[in-house]
């Protein structure tokens, strides 16, 4: 990849670290709203079915965000064309997030259409910005094919009522999740390889860390707003303080232990595309789900403390941290290549 390629970030010897831009941070604001919507969705339907629907929608929210992160790792937001694509993706993300509570109700069409336009449109736009002989053109053409195939299922599923949408939406999610492991196989082209995904590891790491901050920030927003609405008596203030300490502990565990040294590993590993796929694209999902579970439990602690002893309350209060730590352990193990308790992280570890 040469430094003279239009619309792409400069890469090559002598070029420093790839910075996270203000456009990317602006884009992230929509996903603060999206994660908040997921927390409210669970609180509004505290059943196993409600949690299951929220889990499926979390996968979609994450998939939309992480694929945009992959794109912007290559494409330069300083380019007006790239900035225009990101603005369009942000609008589609906002519509998708607004429709989340009604995804299985009256807003199913808006939710599905926004997600499909976001995925197909972003990938097609990225491909159009590249010359036909550029190696990344093949990557994005593969993405267009797979996102269009899953998009057909999303749109068809939106025509079904209520939970019957899962008959087509569940296979659509499965298709999305399997695509990276299938190498985005296309007829006549075969499979791609992770070495085709020539990412800059330091930037990718920082972007995924930003989503952890998004999720933790959403937790603070939810608990703070709940405490303010409940009235700041002594019990509420104590519950808010406990909720904050728990959120701070999650931050400390991730940035002080789980992700320690990850920047250097991603920068130096032989196949950063494969490591980013495994450790970030997939293994960050349980970490984020755990944060949302903790946020829901903290909301109950402040507004309805007696419900923490219910099956739902205990599932959130105990399951949230457990899921967070499990995801962190799996991420750390993939980063190390061995069990996390066996070996300290060393610079230069490969995937």
With 70 as the cut, is the pLDDT of residue 342 above it?
Answer: no
Averaged pLDDT for residues 233-260: 93
pLDDT band at residue 344 under the 50/70/90 scheme: very low
pLDDT band at residue 161 under the 50/70/90 scheme: very high
Judged by phi (left if over 0) then psi (alpha if -120 to 50, else beta), residue 333 lies in: alpha
Give the range among 58-67, 80-89, 296-305, 331-340 with minimum mean pLDDT: 331-340
Nearest C-alpha neighbor of 205 from the set 70, 23, 38, 31: 70
Position 16 scores a pLDDT of 62
Mean of the per-residue pLDDT values of the chain: 88
Q: What residues form DSSP beta bridges with 190?
A: 186
Q: Decide if 334 contacts 275 (C-beta within 8 A).
A: yes
Q: What is the pLDDT of residues 271-309, one digit of tens each?
A: 888 888 999 999 999 999 999 999 999 999 998 888 888
| Secondary structure, 3-state, 328-350 | HHHHHHHHHCCCCCCCCCCCCCC
pLDDT band at residue 1 under the 50/70/90 scheme: very low
Q: Hey, where are the domains in the chain?
A: 22-192, 201-336
Give the range among 49-53, 91-95, 203-207, 266-270 with minimum mean pLDDT: 266-270
With 90 as the cut, is the pLDDT of residue 162 above it?
Answer: yes
Q: What is the pLDDT of residues 210-224, one digit of tens each?
A: 999 989 988 898 899
Q: Decide if 302 contacts 227 (C-beta within 8 A).
A: yes
Write down the pTM of the prediction.
0.89
Q: What is the pLDDT of residues 99-137, one digit of tens each?
A: 999 999 999 999 999 999 999 999 999 999 998 888 889
Averaged pLDDT for residues 148-152: 96
Calculate the alpha carbon distances from 141 to 72, 123, 195, 321 in Å: 16, 7, 16, 39
With 80 as the cut, is the pLDDT of residue 351 above it?
Answer: no
Q: Decide if 286 contacts 319 (C-beta within 8 A).
A: no
CA–CA separation, 206 and 288 (whole Å): 15
DSSP one-letter string for 292-331: HHHHHHHHHHHH-GGGGGSHHHHHHHHHHHHHHHHHHHHH
pLDDT band at residue 194 under the 50/70/90 scheme: confident
Position 183 scores a pLDDT of 83
């Amino acid at each position: 990849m040469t430094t003279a390629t239009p619309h792409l970030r400069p890469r090559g010897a002598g070029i420093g670290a790839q910075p996270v831009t203000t456009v990317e941070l602006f884009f992230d604001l929509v996903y603060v709203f999206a994660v908040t919507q997921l927390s409210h969705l669970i609180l509004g339907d505290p059943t196993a079915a409600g949690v299951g629907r929220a889990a499926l929608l979390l996968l979609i929210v994450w998939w939309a965000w992480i694929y945009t992160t992959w794109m912007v790792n290559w494409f330069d937001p300083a380019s007006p064309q790239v900035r225009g694509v990101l603005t369009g993706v942000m609008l589609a993300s906002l519509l998708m997030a607004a429709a989340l509570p009604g995804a299985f109700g009256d807003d199913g069409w808006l939710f599905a259409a926004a997600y499909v336009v976001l995925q197909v449109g972003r990938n097609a736009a990225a491909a159009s910005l590249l010359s036909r002989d550029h190696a990344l053109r093949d990557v994005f053409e593969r993405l267009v094919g797979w996102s269009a195939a899953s998009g057909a299922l999303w749109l068809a599923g939106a025509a079904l009522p209520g939970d019957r949408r899962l008959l087509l939406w569940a296979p659509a999610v499965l298709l999305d999740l399997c695509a990276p492991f299938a190498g985005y196989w296309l007829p006549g082209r075969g499979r791609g390889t992770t070495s085709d995904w020539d990412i800059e590891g330091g930037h990718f790491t920082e972007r995924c860390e930003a989503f952890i901050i998004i999720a933790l920030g959403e937790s603070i927003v939810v608990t703070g707003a709940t405490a303010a609405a409940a009235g700041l008596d002594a019990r509420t203030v104590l519950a808010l303080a406990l909720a904050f300490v728990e959120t701070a502990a999650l931050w400390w565990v991730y940035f002080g232990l789980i992700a320690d040294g990850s920047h250097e590993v991603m920068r130096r590993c032989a196949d950063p595309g494969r490591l980013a796929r495994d450790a970030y694209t997939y293994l960050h999902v349980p970490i984020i789900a755990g944060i949302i579970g903790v946020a829901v439990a903290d909301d109950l602690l402040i507004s309805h403390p007696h419900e923490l002893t219910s099956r739902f309350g205990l599932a959130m209060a105990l399951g949230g941290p457990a899921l967070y730590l499990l995801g962190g352990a799996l991420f750390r193990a993939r980063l190390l290549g061995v069990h996390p308790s066996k070996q300290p992280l060393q610079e230069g570890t490969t995937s």
